[in-house]
Amino acid sequence: MAKVWSDRFEKGLNPFIDRFNASIEFDIALIQEDLDGSIAHARMLGRCGIITPQEALQLESGLEKIRSEACEGVFQKNLTDEDVHFAVERRLIDLLGPIGKKLHTGRSRNDQVACDLRLWLRARIEHLDEKLERFQISLLVHAKKHLYTLIPGYTHLQRAQPLSLAHHLLAYIEMLQRDRDRLIDVKRRVNISPLGAGALAGTSLPIDRQYTAAELGFSSIYKNSLDAVSDRDFTVEFTAAASLIMVHLSRLAEEVILWASDEFSFVRLTDACATGSSLMPQKKNPDVPELVRGKCGRVFGHLQGLLTMMKGLPLAYNKDFQEDKEALFDTVLTLQASLEAMSILMEEGLVFCTDRLASAVASDFSNSTDVADYLVAKGVPFREAYQMVGRVVKSCLEDGILLQDLSLQQWQEVSPVISDDLLEKLVPQQVVASRMSEGGTGFERVAEQLKYWEACLACT
């Protein structure tokens, strides 16, 4: 079948090259945005007197007909349709005859695809923001329940100081908020209209770019037509922001995997999200967080792919840009699915084992800093106090006991400034309660944060 290209072509494409060149198999995902952009363009052509108002209406109704065909799943793409833009135009000409041939007036696929992709991503960012909020809420629900549940805090994955479990979970809510901020910031730069830039240089026809931009809800227009058609930096920015989200998800995923192990036993996976082994009947595997952790690779890969695809490209449009789509689409799909899966995991997939957590924090030396702080309050210089407690820990380890097992008399042999008020300070609840510095894990501080997030996240 004949291509839409001009008559300068005499022979058909080599069939393999035809397929190699085509993007229709994946850019069909842009059909709704392509129709939105085309409708705005057709209206603008009518308003500017480039086509008649009746012709504009006919084009719009033809495009709406294609929209319903697409929604009902009956829109037929042809083997000869190179991409979604040609597919829509071909169908419009099928439906309307010669009038359909007026749609592409004053437009190129270069500004068209640039416009479609921005519209598509803008909507996805809004959707992702909702998903991120849902995930934050799923964490907040646990946090609210576990203000007074303690969990060992780690540095170097070695027991460091005990924490309110709520504080630990709120740390993820903070990261996710920055993720949301980043996406909203990217959206500001996505939300600029390239439409009307033409192939690269603008057009001699009296088009109105402000009108199409306003119709499509863009906040402004690209000021330079070359930049408009050859800029894909927003795909890189978005994929970078997506990569950071995946990093954050992977860290929680990794923690859940550790927590669900026999060695930690801090959480129990419910049947809703855990899977069995084909061989070992006792197994309950954390496939969900493992998959999320594993999916980081493809998102980071897309970031690298997009950067490499763009590097060194001369202005303006180059076919290399066609490669942006699968990377962007897969990034969005992976992110949506990972956020959904992690939300479900939090909502119904795990239960914190509070008994086990309580015994974990009561059976280590994570209250050592508190002894040093106690000595400091009694006038001992910190470095000296630190050394003294280090020696006590060493001898306790040799005797197989904990700091709280030492008697007052033994403590007074360590330092005469110690009195019996030290003993209560060693209790894990007290250790946590005392961390009252701003941003610390002290219950009162964490309670303030819970309130703050409850108000921000509008959850019940």
Which residues contribute to the site for ligand ARG (CB under 6 A)? 23, 27, 83, 109-110, 113, 317, 319, 321-322
- In whole angstroms, what is the distance from residue 288 CA to residue 296 CA? 13
Q: Is 167 a catalytic residue?
A: no
Identify which of residues 222 and 352 has a Cβ nearer to ligand ARG in the complex: 222
Identify which of residues 193 and 322 has a Cβ nearer to ligand ARG in the complex: 322
CB 114 to ligand ARG: min, Å = 8
Q: What is the DSSP letter of 459?
A: -
Spell 313-337 as b/e; 16+ CB within 10 A means b: eeebbeeebbbbbbbbbbbbebbee
CB 317 to ligand ARG: min, Å = 6
Q: With contact defined as beta carbons under 8 Å apart, do 293 and 257 qualify?
A: yes
- Pick the catalytic residue from 277, 363, 395, 419: 277
Identify which of residues 202 and 440 has a Cβ nearer to ligand ARG in the complex: 202
- In whole angstroms, what is the distance from residue 105 CA to residue 99 CA? 11
CB 326 to ligand ARG: min, Å = 10
Closest CA to 269 of 252, 288, 250, 249: 288
Identify which of residues 8 and 156 has a Cβ nearer to ligand ARG in the complex: 8
Q: How many CB atoms lie within 10 A of CB 115?
A: 30
Dump strand ranges (E) for 226-302.
Answer: 267-269
Q: Is 277 a catalytic residue?
A: yes
- In whole angstroms, what is the distance from residue 326 CA to residue 110 CA? 17
Identify which of residues 110 and 191 has a Cβ nearer to ligand ARG in the complex: 110
Closest CA to 241 of 405, 74, 125: 125
CB 16 to ligand ARG: min, Å = 18
CB 183 to ligand ARG: min, Å = 23
Tell me, rounded to whole angstroms, the distance of Cα 212 from its chain centroid.
Answer: 30
Interstrand relation of 192-193 and 220-221 (parallel, antiparallel or unpaired): parallel
Residues annotated as part of the active site: 156, 277
